[in-house]
A = this chain, B = another copy of it.
Amino acid sequence: MSHDRKNRARDGISRRGLLGSAAGVGVAAAGAGVLAGRMSSPAAAATASGTVPFRAANQAGIVTPVQDRLHFAAFDVHTRSRTELVDLLKTWTVMAERMTAGHEATPDGAIGGGAFAPPSDTGEALDLSPARLTLTIGFGPSLFTTADGGDRFGIASRKPGALVDLPKFTGDALDPARSGGDIAIQACADDPQVAVHAIRNLARAGFGAVSVRWSQLGFGRTSSTSASQATPRNLLGFKDGTRNIKAEDHDTVDKFVWVDRGDDQAWMAGGSYLVTRRIRMLIEPWDRTSLHEQERVIGRTKGTGAPLGGKDEFDELDLQSAGPSGPLVDTDAHVRLASAEELGGIQILRRGYNFTDGSDGFGHLDAGLFFIAYCRNPQTQFVPMQNNLARNDALNEYIKHVGSAVFAVPPGLGPADYWGSTLFEN
């Protein structure tokens, strides 16, 4: 790939030329998706060289098998010009498509723009592979309307009913500086430097129009979105996401992840909603808790990840049987409260990452889970689930929600689309 990245720049392939050819690929990919019905697993088409197609019926980075590393950024929009915002979204789209294909952010790149111009790519990914990079965009409630209901960019009437700030949940200890945002970009890749490079170059292109409100690095995935992936562990030491929605289960994905045409605003059809929660884990008290108590709190065994009473990780969760004292799976166990069985069938797609951000100033590591979920409607999926957890979860003694945000994630891109074109055009 290093060869690829560099030669693009040196050969002086024009942005137009590249876009043309990239869009051509997009046509084929999107076309295939349309023909086969809703394309729910763009990553199934990931090539051997580690690239995930950028254009498909749905955005990549949602049901794509979770990459190992994350760099997530939320932006504040400062421009008051709709034209400038749309221009930035178009520029970002070109850059994002290039980077996910393993090219530099721009045709000139880090070294091809001439000696007396600032390089148009920052260069730190020059020698790296695409690393399955995906870039996923979302729009926060505040992009549509100001706090007093003002119409910032002429899109207030297009704000989906499902896109409202999350309610305050019991126990929330949110830091405004780590919450909200007008626009979110999620970069996932198997190489962290590729993810960081992507966010940095997009932030750079937005200089003056947008600024980074908060960002979060995730060093290890804490869920799987494909049956082909092993279940990873979170920093509580437990396997996380055993019962997560898997890309291969198309019916479940369609039901709980992708917005359908009739749901709400037409421009969101094929999109989804993204919820992020920065969950600080109070790992010191957790680490002083007995194995029995830890397993009671979670509702699973720590070693195999099997549900209590089961033997293997994927054994059925038994919420009915009695255990030696009370129910086999406690009434306030995390898995019970988050289960579809207890929530009238509700499921969400989780895509979180472990984080460690230095120390907290009190002698402890600032560590936890950066929770990411995608759902068709956060109001009817995430909110009732989190209400149930926030009120009753035995785990609450060991965690603290310190950041929160929600974003409308537009659908995937056809050959002529840019990020947000279904919202800003038509």
Task: Using CB atoms and an 8 Å cutoff, list the residues of chain A in contact with chain B.
Answer: 6, 69, 71, 73, 76, 110-111, 113-119, 121-127, 177, 191-193, 196, 199-200, 203-204, 207, 211-217, 219-220, 230, 232-238, 283-284, 287-292, 294-295, 301-303, 354, 356-359, 361-365, 367
In the bound complex, do residue B118 and residue A287 qualify as a contact, i.e. CB atoms below 8 Å apart? yes
- Decide yes or no: A118 and B288 within 8 Å by CB, A110-B302, A283-B200, A359-B212 being known contacts: yes
CB distance from A12 to the nearest CB of B (A): 14
In the bound complex, do residue A220 and residue B204 qualify as a contact, i.e. CB atoms below 8 Å apart? no
Residues of B within 8 Å of A192, CB to CB, are 192, 219-220
- Decide yes or no: A235 and B358 within 8 Å by CB, A196-B367, A212-B364 being known contacts: no
In the bound complex, do residue A115 and residue B292 qualify as a contact, i.e. CB atoms below 8 Å apart? yes
- Name A291's contact: one of B73, B114, B361 (CB within 8 Å): B114
In the bound complex, do residue B216 and residue A290 qualify as a contact, i.e. CB atoms below 8 Å apart? no
Q: In the complex the two chains form, what is the Cα distance from A283 to B197 in whole Å?
A: 12
Residues of B within 8 Å of A234, CB to CB, are 124
- In the complex, the 8 A-B pairs of residues with the closest C-beta atoms, listed nearest first: A123-B237, A211-B363, A115-B292, A192-B219, A111-B303, A193-B220, A212-B359, A124-B233
Q: In the complex the two chains form, what is the Cα distance from A124 to B117 in whole Å?
A: 47
Residues of B within 8 Å of A191, CB to CB, are 220
Q: In the complex the two chains form, what is the Cα distance from A365 to B119 in whole Å?
A: 19
Residues of B within 8 Å of A122, CB to CB, are 235, 237, 283, 287
Smallest CB gap from A2: residue in B: B230
Find the residue from A214, A236, A367 having the highest chain B CB count within 10 A. Answer: A367
CB distance from A313 to the nearest CB of B (A): 11
Residues of B within 8 Å of A215, CB to CB, are 356, 358-359, 365
Q: In the complex the two chains form, what is the Cα distance from A196 to B366 in whole Å?
A: 11
- Name A359's contact: one of B126, B213, B303 (CB within 8 Å): B213
Find the residue from A113, A116, A126 having the highest chain B CB count within 10 A. Answer: A126
In the bound complex, do residue A233 and residue B283 qualify as a contact, i.e. CB atoms below 8 Å apart? no
Q: In the complex the two chains form, what is the Cα distance from A178 to B127 in whole Å?
A: 31
In the bound complex, do residue A111 and residue B302 qualify as a contact, i.e. CB atoms below 8 Å apart? yes
Listed by A's residue number, 28 A-B pairs whose Cβ atoms lie within 8 Å are A69-B219, A73-B365, A111-B302, A115-B292, A115-B295, A117-B290, A118-B290, A119-B287, A119-B291, A122-B287, A123-B236, A124-B233, A124-B235, A124-B236, A124-B354, A126-B303, A127-B233, A177-B361, A192-B192, A192-B219, A200-B367, A203-B365, A211-B364, A212-B364, A212-B365, A215-B359, A215-B365, A357-B357
Q: In the complex the two chains form, what is the Cα distance from A152 to B420 in whole Å?
A: 62
- Decide yes or no: A359 and B214 within 8 Å by CB, A111-B302, A116-B292, A365-B199 being known contacts: yes
Smallest CB gap from A128: residue in B: B233
Residues of B within 8 Å of A238, CB to CB, are 123
In the bound complex, do residue B367 and residue A110 qualify as a contact, i.e. CB atoms below 8 Å apart? no
CB distance from A185 to the nearest CB of B (A): 12
Q: In the complex the two chains form, what is the Cα distance from A303 to B115 in whole Å?
A: 12
In the bound complex, do residue A214 and residue B358 qualify as a contact, i.e. CB atoms below 8 Å apart? yes
Smallest CB gap from A294: residue in B: B119
